[in-house]
Structure 1
Amino acid sequence: MISSNNILVVIPARAGSKGIPGKNIKLLGDKPLIAHSIEIAKAIVPMEDICVSTDGIDIKQVAEQFGISVPFIRPSSLASDTAGTYEVLLHALNYFESKGKKYNIVVLLQPTSPFRKLTHVKEALTIYEEEIDMVVSVKETKSNPYYNLFEEKGGFLEKSKKGDFSGRQEIPKVYEYNGAIYIINANALKEKPIGKFTKIKKYVMDELSSMDLDEMLDWRISEFLLKEGIVTL
């Protein structure tokens, strides 16, 4: 069983959002978007082990309204469109270690996955082992490189991945990261970027729980799903 004392939960929330302006503090249901991730974080670790990494004063204030101390404002070098999640996580991890707090695990909860539940995170945590690099949440993708994904070669389309299958049912399942949950080995994170991890285990989520809010259309769809009672927060 993983001890909550070993876990740092990082909730990244950059102020500049072009797809959905002000999305992190925009109300979804009865709470700002970021609050849904904060509530989950508070249910799995002590509040002092939750890091809202932001460059926005308004986001900091909202986080504090929900009981989270925000000890730093993200430096400008990590606040641009090109700033990567890897650098943001390392910055948070290094900050807390400079204060004498060492973590074995970093849990990344992106605010843009509001339909991720506490049960999802707890179940994903049971999969984690210290010998691996990461447990990541996924959904089964509708597009499959054996079936309906193509690359252009020599001016003609070819299937991205070739295989000899008599029917679609025989084609291997393919998964895509849904952005909801990342449970990361802190030592592995210090050694290499997430994109270079090789020891990765999946935690499968359904389509609705996997919904990621990136554009206004996503937001409108999420509001409709809530209004119709198709999903809950």
Structure 2
Amino acid sequence: MILATICCRGGSKGVPGKNIKALAGKPLIAYTIEAAKQSSLIDDLIISTDDELIASVAKEYGAKVPFMRPADLASDTASKWPVFIHAVETYEKLTGNSVEYLVDLDVTVPLKTAADIDGAIQAALNDQAVDVVITGYEPERNPYFNMMEVKEDGYAAIVKQTERPIVRRQDAPAVYSLTPAAYVIKRSALYAYEHWSKAKCKIHPIPRERAIDIDTAIDFEIVEFLMARRNEPAELI
């Protein structure tokens, strides 16, 4: 049984009311709800929030809000891992269903598609040894090639040093920037690890243009631009 969650609390600091802020005529949360509902692998979708207004907007777009998140799991310092456990356990108690995989879909990646979500889920289903599958994209910088860190002595060095220096980007090992478009987590992993980074992980790559993570006001403008460009007639692009 594959349960999708959209976890969004009400206390956004960077962009107040971010989760339901209008983006190209719709609240931000609506895009993730719509993508999840188009998935062919998700069995059920719920919202985990502490905010009544977010819950109301989510319901308008067809999402279920079967419970409200406790305040202690909605603070600035709360980790998402306990939020996931609370969502799974509460959902199972209310429905009698046994969840096998949790798929967390972050509201802040509105350009993700159902295909991106299903690709990550399928990657988890295809490898029973994997605990977590995370969406990611190939970044413009690579720690083996053109990223440096400053050491304690004040001098800078390549982040990931190899026996022989890598002089061409194409020769560097593949690395990925994570995007919270989808986190597919095996239920057992929620109890076996204190954080996803401790688990056995795989990356499901998605295109950079669908991986943008909205964190600031200007990110809204960038995504609105991309949405408008995507809707332009082909001959104008």
TM-score (norm 1): 0.90
Alpha-carbon distance in 1 for matches of 2:7, 2:89: 15
- Aligned partner of 2:171 in structure 1 is 170
Partner of 2:104: 108
| Residues 131-177 of structure 1: CA deviation (Å, up to 9, x unaligned) | 21011101012221122222222111111111222423211121121
Residue type of the alignment partner of 2:220: W
Deviation at 1:47, TM superposition (A): 9.3
Contact 1:137 1:205 in 2 (8 A): yes
Residue type matched to 2:168 in 1? G
Contact map agreement 2:81 2:194 (CA 8 A) in 1: yes
Question: Which residue pairs with 1:118 in the alignment?
Answer: 114
Please give the per-residue CA displacement for 1:60-94, whole angstroms capped at 9, x wherever unaligned.
Answer: 10111122231211111011111111111111011
- Partner residue of 1:49? 44
Whole-angstrom CA distance in 2 between matches of 1:181 and 1:215: 20
Alignment-derived partner of residue 136 in structure 1: 134
Aligned mate of 1:148, from 146, 149, 152: 146
Query: Is 1:8–2:6 an aligned residue pair?
Result: no
| Gapped regions of structure 2 (runs ≥ 5) | 233-237
Structure 1 gaps of 5+ residues are 1-5
CA distance in 2, matches of 1:93, 1:45: 20
2:144 counterpart SS class: coil
User: Cα 1:47–1:168, aligned 2, differ >3 Å: closer, same or farther?
Assistant: closer
For structure 1, which segment, 121-130 or 202-211, has the greater mean C-alpha deviation from structure 2 after superposition?
Answer: 121-130
Moved over 4 A (4+): 45-48
Which residue does 1:3 correspond to in 2? none
Say yes or no: does 1:157 pair with 2:156: yes
Deviation of 1:126 (Å): 1.9
The count of residues paired between Structure 1 and Structure 2 equals 226
Match of 1:185 in 2: 186
CA contact (8 A) 2:4 2:44 kept: yes
Q: Contact 2:32–2:106 at 8 Å: present in 1 too?
A: yes
CA positional deviation for 1:48: 8.1
SS where residue 127 of structure 1 aligns? helix
CA contact (8 A) 1:48 1:69 kept: no
Residue 188 of structure 2 aligns to a residue in which SS?
Answer: helix
AA matched with 1:63 = A
Quote the offset at 1:183 in angstroms: 0.9
Does the 8 Å CA contact 2:189/2:199 hold for their aligned counterparts? no
Task: Give the whole-Å Cα distance in 1 for the aligned partners of 2:68 and 2:106.
Answer: 17
Q: Which amino acid aligns with 1:55?
A: D
Tell me how far apart the structure 1 counterparts of residues 167 and 201 of structure 2 sit (CA, whole Å): 30
Report sequence identity in percent. 37
Residue 195 (structure 1) shift: 3.3
1:196 and 1:139 mapped to 2: Cα distance? 17
Secondary structure of the 1:225 match is helix
Could you say which residue in structure 2 is the equivalent of 1:75? 70
SS at match of 2:230: coil
